[in-house]
């Protein structure tokens, strides 16, 4: 029996170091110290072998072979050659796997450093034994791990070959399964080992492929997590004792038999995805004696659990950005906890604070974890009346302070607009437009749909805080407006380049009709960054409708024809709609048909606006020009910039405008300044302040000018 004390580094996911340290000391390590994503230990080979069998938290075990200075390729080669590699295994290794991590000024490429390491080991074995091992990606009979930081090189032998979290029972996975050792850590933090001894039940209402419950079953029944472990690296290690391993297996089998017989609790998992339940049951078939664990295909509203002694553990779905069903799972979980669970202990994985608040319980403990590369939080709380957070009247869940401030603002704005919206028959309006700097979004209501556009946050706000603020926005919207999940739409909106404002975001079509003061418009809140209706131009549409009777109207950059509709509804003799986009001109024609307007005098012209104006032989009573801030249309030789090029556009418009006609010119460039020559050559009235309806009061989203020929009185 080997009694030599070895030094090793046992790796684990970040934030599990303290738990792993305690586990290794319990398994018999002499010393243990936390490191980054692992624990440094001193232990005998017997303890290390036992840890392979019983560690629920470790990834890999690296035996320290050498530590030295290494500046360049030659130092690396020489260092590797100093170890008698054949002596690290029972016999000359048939296969070799190498992993190299880290760089310095000379060794800049880990693949190159791996090749140097491989050459040194193979050269040594060739010279001593006339044999070169086959190089494999992982789990070689000799598995070597090297870590380089500056000039410090640490050389290890990996005795596990592959990660210990791969227990062997999980043959099929769902899309985003928890790793087994992370699931074990969650259960340990939640106190499951102690609760299992008291025969509590473990409940997972969103079980997926069942990892949390399977790990919970193995803990409750004292089943060794790695009793089926197979590894060339472990079984070839020079200190591996097959007799001792057999004894560990027999001991594990005996402990499991006692544990299964003694445990009287239940483990119940449900999921509304049948495929997930099928996978969970298939994985469960790989666990022996699993008679008190069950997975059921069921919706949460029908799920009933034992009345007492329950630990609820859950990893609800989450993502980086809002999708159609972003809130639905969390809302279902919250409702189920509130309505179907009387007394229980809960451990829920949350991607951020907002989801924890959404559940509506005061947290007793909060642990930072990593699910892959995604930072998450494990929230522990009691489910009872005392731990429920108070919810203000008219609100359906508690909010963080920032979200509550925004919710209050939304309520106030909604109340102030209510009678005005009803009076003018307006179904699409702006409720909020980045009034608070930290909440840089626009929130628009289209009937019972909510459209949230995220602006670029101010430079003073860090990206992480901006992400938190966005979650606060979503919570405030859900709290005040209570839209159905599939009717909540979020789009990120950064500085636009080229014609990105018109680019498709998704392929599916999801259009519906909104009413605006007698006009009807098709909108699409999913396909494009813009929706098909510029809400800030409502005042201008009304103005055009009031003043267009028996007039000939030209709508440039017409987009989906909303202003053209207003002119036609106002009795215009003819409306010419010009745009470069075939898609939007077709949309404009559909809007005309929707409003019952079918006169052949109304024309839809696909052309570059500047080219059209240069060739135009018509004259118009009214022209509307709302150009983009920037465009690089292929139909013109140079890019369009509204500040630089607006004077040329206006001059061309005025040539096509009758002497007593009017040009409405607008744009959305915040720093826009009208050219001095235009002001001097024409009658110009800045109507920007007047051009906003009640929902855009104090807005600076656009500039708007009324321009006439100088002879006009």
Q: Give the whole-number percent of the chain exceeding pLDDT 90.
A: 77
CATH architecture of 401-494: 2-Layer Sandwich (3.30)
Q: Is the pLDDT of residue 587 over 70?
A: yes
Q: Running DSSP on this structure, what letter comes out for residue 604?
A: E
Per-range mean pLDDT, top range of 181-190, 430-439, 507-516: 181-190
How far is residue 575's CA from residue 622's CA, in Å, rounded to a whole number? 10
Q: Is the pLDDT of residue 319 over 60?
A: no
Provide the pLDDT confidence category of residue 402 given band limits of 50, 70 and 90: confident
Provide the pLDDT confidence category of residue 633 given band limits of 50, 70 and 90: low
Average pLDDT rounded to a whole number, residues 561-581? 97
pLDDT per position as a tens digit, 641-654: 999 999 999 999 99
pLDDT per position as a tens digit, 69-83: 999 999 999 999 999
**H or E stretch including 347?**
strand 344-350
pLDDT per position as a tens digit, 537-550: 999 999 999 999 99
Q: Give the whole-number percent of the chain exceeding pLDDT 70.
A: 94
Residue 497 is predicted with a pLDDT of 41
**H or E stretch including 17?**
helix 17-26
Which CATH fold would you assign to the domain 530-708? Rossmann fold (3.40.50)
Please give the mean pLDDT across all residues of the chain. 91
Domain ranges of the chain: 5-158, 180-221+263-383, 401-494, 530-708
CB 540 within 8 A of CB 691: yes
Residue 585 is predicted with a pLDDT of 97
Residue 635 is predicted with a pLDDT of 54
Residue 501 is predicted with a pLDDT of 43
Residue 174 is predicted with a pLDDT of 55
Q: CA separation (Å) from 523 to 413, 429, 520, 538?
A: 23, 13, 10, 15
Residue 352 is predicted with a pLDDT of 80
Provide the pLDDT confidence category of residue 508 given band limits of 50, 70 and 90: very low
CATH number for the domain running over 5-158 = 3.30.2130.30
pLDDT per position as a tens digit, 234-243: 999 999 999 9
Provide the pLDDT confidence category of residue 323 given band limits of 50, 70 and 90: very low
Residue 173 is predicted with a pLDDT of 61
Contacts 24+ apart (CB under 8 A), 70-76: 70/104, 70/107, 70/148, 70/151, 70/152, 70/153, 71/104, 71/106, 71/151, 72/106, 72/107, 73/106, 73/107, 73/116, 75/153, 76/107, 76/113, 76/116, 76/117, 76/120, 76/153
CA atoms lying within 13 Å on the CB side of residue 457: 14
Q: Is the pLDDT of residue 502 over 60?
A: no
Domains 401-494 and 530-708 share a fold: no
Provide the pLDDT confidence category of residue 13 given band limits of 50, 70 and 90: very high
Residue 487 is predicted with a pLDDT of 86
> Which one is the CATH code of 180-221+263-383: 3.40.50.150, 1.10.760.10, 3.40.50.300, 1.10.10.10?
3.40.50.150
pLDDT per position as a tens digit, 362-394: 999 999 999 988 889 999 999 998 898 877 767
Provide the pLDDT confidence category of residue 284 given band limits of 50, 70 and 90: confident
Q: How many CB atoms lie within 10 A of CB 166?
A: 15
pLDDT per position as a tens digit, 460-472: 777 778 888 888 8
- Which tokens in the block code for residue 571? 């009795």
């Amino acid at each position: 029996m080997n009694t030599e004390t070895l030094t090793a580094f046992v790796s684990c996911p970040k934030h599990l170091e303290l738990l792993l340290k305690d586990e290794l000391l319990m398994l018999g390590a002499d010393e243990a110290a936390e490191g980054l994503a692992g624990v440094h230990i001193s232990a005998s080979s017997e303890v290390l072998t036992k840890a392979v069998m019983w560690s629920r938290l470790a990834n890999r075990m690296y035996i320290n072979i050498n530590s030295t200075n290494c500046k360049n390729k030659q130092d690396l080669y020489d260092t590797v050659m100093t170890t008698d590699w054949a002596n690290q295994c029972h016999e000359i290794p048939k296969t070799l796997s190498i992993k190299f991590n880290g760089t310095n000024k000379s060794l800049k490429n880990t693949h190159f450093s791996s090749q140097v390491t491989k050459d040194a080991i193979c050269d040594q074995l060739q010279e001593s034994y006339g044999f070169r091992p086959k190089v494999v990606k992982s789990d070689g009979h000799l598995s070597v791990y090297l870590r380089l930081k500056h000039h410090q090189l640490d050389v290890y032998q990996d005795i596990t070959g592959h990660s210990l979290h791969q227990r062997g029972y999980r043959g099929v996975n769902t899309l985003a399964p928890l790793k087994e050792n992370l699931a074990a850590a969650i259960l340990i933090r939640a106190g499951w080992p102690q609760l299992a001894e008291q025969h509590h039940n473990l409940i997972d209402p969103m079980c997926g492929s069942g990892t949390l419950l399977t790990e919970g079953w193995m803990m409750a029944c004292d089943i060794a997590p790695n009793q089926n472990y197979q590894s060339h690296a472990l079984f070839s290690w020079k200190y591996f004792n097959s007799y001792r391993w057999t004894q560990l297996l027999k001991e594990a089998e005996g402990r499991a038999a006692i544990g299964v017989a003694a445990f009287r609790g239940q483990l119940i998992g449900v999921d509304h995805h049948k495929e997930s339940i099928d996978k969970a049951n298939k994985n469960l078939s790989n666990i022996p004696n699993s008679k008190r664990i069950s997975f059921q295909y069921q919706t949460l509203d029908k799920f009933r659990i034992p009345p007492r002694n329950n630990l609820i553990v859950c990893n609800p779905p989450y993502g980086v950005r809002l999708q159609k069903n972003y809130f639905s799972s969390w809302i279902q979980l919250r409702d189920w906890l509130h309505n179907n669970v009387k007394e229980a202990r809960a451990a829920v994985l949350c991607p951020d604070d907002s989801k924890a608040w959404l559940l509506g319980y005061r947290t007793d403990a909060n642990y930072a974890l990593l699910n892959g590369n995604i930072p998450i939080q494990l929230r522990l709380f009691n489910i009872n009346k005392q731990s429920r957070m108070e919810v203000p009247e008219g609100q359906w869940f508690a909010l963080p302070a920032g979200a509550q401030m925004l919710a209050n603002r939304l309520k106030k704005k909604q109340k102030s607009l209510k009678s005005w919206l009803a009076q003018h028959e307006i179904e699409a309006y702006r409720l909020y437009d980045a009034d608070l700097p930290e909440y840089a979004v626009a929130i628009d209501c289209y009937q019972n749909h909510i459209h949230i556009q995220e602006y670029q946050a101010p430079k003073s706000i860090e990206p992480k805080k901006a992400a938190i603020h966005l979650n606060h926005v979503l919570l405030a919207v859900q709290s005040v407006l209570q839209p159905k999940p599939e009717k909540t739409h979020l789009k990120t909106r950064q500085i636009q380049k080229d014609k990105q404002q018109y680019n498709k975001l998704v392929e599916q079509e999801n259009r519906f009709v909104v009413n605006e003061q007698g006009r009807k418009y098709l909108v699409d809140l999913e396909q494009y960054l813009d929706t098909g209706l510029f809400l800030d131009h409502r005042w201008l549409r009304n103005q055009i409708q009031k003043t267009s009777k028996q007039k000939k109207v030209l709508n440039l950059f017409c987009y989906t024809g909303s202003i053209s509709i207003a002119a036609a509804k106002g009795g215009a003799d003819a409306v010419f709609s010009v745009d470069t986009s075939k898609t939007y001109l077709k949309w404009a024609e559909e809007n005309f048909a929707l409003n019952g307007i079918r006169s052949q005098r109304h024309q839809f012209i696909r052309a570059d606006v500047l080219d059209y104006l240069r060739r135009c032989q018509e004259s118009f009573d009214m022209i509307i020009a709302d150009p983009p801030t920037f465009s690089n249309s292929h139909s013109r030789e140079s890019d369009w910039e509204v500040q630089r090029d607006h004077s040329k556009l206006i001059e061309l418009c005025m040539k096509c405008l009758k002497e007593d006609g009017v040009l409405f010119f607008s744009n959305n460039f915040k720093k826009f300044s009208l050219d001095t020559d235009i002001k001097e050559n024409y009658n110009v009235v800045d109507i920007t302040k007047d051009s906003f309806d009640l929902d855009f009061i104090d807005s600076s989203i656009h500039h708007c000018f009324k321009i006439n020929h100088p002879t006009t009185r």
